[in-house]
C-alpha cells in the first residue's frame, strides 16, 4: 500500500443493514480533487440509473475505491452491527492507498484501522466522499441480490433486494427461508418455525 499525505480522506458507507437476506456491503472511496464528480448524494435519493452512472464515474475517477462485505453467516454469528463494522474495516483495508482519515456514515467506527476515523451522522447525505461510498455500496449490493434472484427466484430479490416487502414476506410464508436469509432476523426466524 502507498502511504499518502495525511489530508486524503476516505468516505465509508454501507448498504444492506435492514434486509432479511443477502450480505451487508461496505464501500470506501478516496475522491480525486482534480476530478470532481457532480451529483453525488445519498444513494437512497437517486434513481437506479443515476446510481449506476455515478458508480461508473466514481470507479473511473476516484484515487482509490474498494467494496467489501460480510456474508449471511457472519451476520448471523456476529449480529448486523458487528458485521457492518467488519465489512467497513475490510473495505478500508482493501484500498490501494492508506487514507489520512476515514469519514464513516453513522455514529460508530470500526476499530483497529490503519488511520484515524470519524463517525458522521447523515454523512451519506451531507459529505460528498461518503455519498460516493454510499453509491458504490448500494450498486454492488444490488448486483449481488440480482445474482441471488437467479439462484433463488421464489423471493423476488431482483425487485425487493432482500427487504421485508409484502411479496417477500408472502414467499417466506409459502416456501420458507433459503440459505441467503439471515436466520436470526425476526421475520425469517418466524418463517423457519413453519418448516
Q: How many CB atoms are closer than 10 A to CB 156?
A: 17
CA distance 25 to 135: 11
Please give the pLDDT value at position 104.
98
- Per-residue cell: 29: 472511496
**What percentage of the chain reaches a pLDDT higher than 70?**
95
CA distance 169 to 166: 5
Mean pLDDT of the chain: 94
Strands 9-15 and 101-105: parallel
Per residue, what are the HEC states of 144-176?
A: HHHHHHHHCHHHCHHHHCCCCCHHHHHHHHHHC
Residue 186 placed within a domain: no
Query: Count of domains in the chain?
Result: 1
Which residue, chain included where needed, has cell 459529505? 127
83-125 pLDDT per residue, tens: 999 999 999 999 999 999 999 999 999 999 989 999 999 999 9
Residue 185 placed within a domain: no
Residue 49 placed within a domain: yes
- Per-residue cell: 144: 449481488
122-171 pLDDT per residue, tens: 999 999 999 999 999 999 999 999 999 999 999 999 999 999 999 999 99
Residue 4 placed within a domain: no
- CATH code of the domain in which 58 resides: 3.30.420.10
Residue 170 placed within a domain: no
79-90 pLDDT per residue, tens: 999 999 999 999
Q: Is the pLDDT of residue 2 over 80?
A: no
Please give the pLDDT value at position 7.
76
Please give the pLDDT value at position 191.
84
19-51 pLDDT per residue, tens: 999 999 999 999 999 999 999 999 999 999 999
Residue 166 placed within a domain: no
Sheet of strand 101-105, all strands in order from the earlier edge strand to the far edge: 64-70, 24-30, 9-15, 101-105, 116-120
| Phi/psi at 15 (5° precision) | -140, 140
Range of the domain at 72: 9-141
- Per-residue cell: 76: 448471523
Amino acid at each position: 500500500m502507498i502511504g499518502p499525505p495525511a489530508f486524503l480522506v476516505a468516505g465509508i458507507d454501507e448498504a444492506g443493514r435492514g434486509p432479511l437476506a443477502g450480505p451487508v456491503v461496505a464501500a470506501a472511496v478516496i475522491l480525486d480533487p482534480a476530478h470532481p464528480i457532480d451529483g453525488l448524494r445519498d444513494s437512497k435519493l437517486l434513481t437506479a440509473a443515476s446510481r449506476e452512472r455515478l458508480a461508473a464515474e466514481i470507479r473511473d475517477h476516484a484515487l482509490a475505491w474498494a467494496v467489501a462485505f460480510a456474508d449471511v453467516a457472519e451476520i448471523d454469528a456476529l449480529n448486523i452491527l458487528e458485521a457492518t463494522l467488519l465489512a467497513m474495516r475490510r473495505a478500508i483495508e482493501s484500498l490501494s492507498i492508506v487514507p489520512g482519515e476515514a469519514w464513516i456514515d453513522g455514529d460508530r467506527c470500526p476499530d483497529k484501522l490503519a488511520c484515524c476515523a470519524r463517525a458522521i451522522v447523515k454523512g451519506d447525505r451531507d459529505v460528498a466522499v461518503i455519498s460516493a461510498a454510499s453509491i458504490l455500496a448500494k450498486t454492488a449490493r444490488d448486483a449481488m441480490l440480482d445474482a441471488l434472484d437467479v439462484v433463488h427466484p421464489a423471493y423476488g430479490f431482483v425487485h425487493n433486494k432482500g427487504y421485508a416487502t409484502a411479496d417477500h414476506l408472502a414467499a417466506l410464508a409459502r416456501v420458507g427461508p433459503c440459505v441467503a436469509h439471515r436466520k436470526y432476523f425476526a421475520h425469517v426466524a418466524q418463517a423457519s418455525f413453519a418448516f
